[in-house]
Amino acid sequence: MNSNLKTYIDKRLSKLSLYHNHIISIDLYLNLDNPSSQTNKAVELRVHIPGDDVVVGKKSDAFEKALDLAASTAERLLKRRKEKTRI
């Protein structure tokens, strides 16, 4: 993995802590699927929080785009889980 992608991943995933205070860890899986397909870059994001995990998988034509899609979906799910714990 090149350093630009690693820096981008670190920067993007660090923003998830803004949406939930008790993130234990984050697992990220990058996968290159079918080489003949245009949208062959797959990202699976697993955010470990107390009680349950948030798991999101997205595909795109670039790892950065797939990561953005997965991270924004995870942000939305983390907000929802945080609101449920407040009630």
Under CATH, which number does the domain 3-86 receive? 3.30.160.100
Q: The pTM is what? A: 0.86
Kindly report the average pLDDT of the chain as a whole number: 88
- Residue 45 burial by CB count (10 A; 0-12/13-18/19+): exposed, middle or buried? buried
What gap in Å lies between CA 26 and CA 45, rounded to an integer?
7
Separation of CA 8 from chain center: 12
Label residue 36 by pLDDT band (50, 70, 90): confident
